[in-house]
Amino acid sequence: MGLYNYRWFLAFIGLHFVITIYGFVVGMGIFYGIIEEKQLLGAKFINNLTGETVTADWMFIFNWIMYHENALSFVVLLCAVCSVMLFFFFVYHMWMIKNGLTTNEKVKFGQAKYYIERSKSFLEEWLRIR
């Protein structure tokens, strides 16, 4: 990112972070509504293989939701993962601003440091052999 583009870039990242958090919260609200509507918290299920009666716990409910609402589950999980990544990406760019760097400078300084270290080790080896 260039020096004068940072505010727009950070606004872009921040807005997408807020949108993904919103998607996650709304999706969790929908899941809660499904759990309440179908009364899954106290439900009892029968295992078809063993005939055993199983009381639904949170892991069972999670698996039930993932099976019956797989598209929504995917979107909610995607929103959760993307919001975490966007948050750390935003923090990283704020750290670069604090240190007075642009993305371009950070990349070029990293490359320059790598080539200097590589050249230094090459010259030290060359002088040792010589």
If asked whether residues 70 and 121 sit together in one domain, one would say no
Q: Find tokens 């179908």 and name the residue.
A: 38
| 42 and 72 belong to one structural domain | yes
* Structure tokens, 46: 């029968």
* Residues 61 and 29 both lie in one domain: yes
- Identify the band that residue 130 occupies on the pLDDT scale cut at 50, 70 and 90: low
Same domain, 126 and 68: no
DSSP string, 19-72: HHHHHHHHHHHHHHHHHHHTT-TT-EEE-TTT--EEE--HHHHHHHHHHHTHHH
> Are 109 and 93 contained in the same domain?
no
| Domain membership of residue 25 as a residue range | 3-99
The reply to whether 111 and 55 lie within a common domain is no
Most confidently modeled of 37-41, 78-82, 94-98? Answer: 78-82
Task: Read off the pLDDT of residues 33-53 as tens digits, 9 standing for 90 and up.
Answer: 999 999 998 889 888 889 899
Residues 39 and 94 in one domain: yes
pTM listed for this prediction: 0.74
Count structural domains, the chain: 2
Mean pLDDT of the chain: 88
Position 2 scores a pLDDT of 60
Asked whether residue 82 falls in the same domain as residue 119, the answer is: no
Q: Do 89 and 109 share a domain, yes or no?
A: no
Between 115 and 35, whose confidence is greater?
35
Same-domain status, 24 and 74: yes
Looking at the fold, whether 37 and 95 belong to one and the same domain comes out as: yes
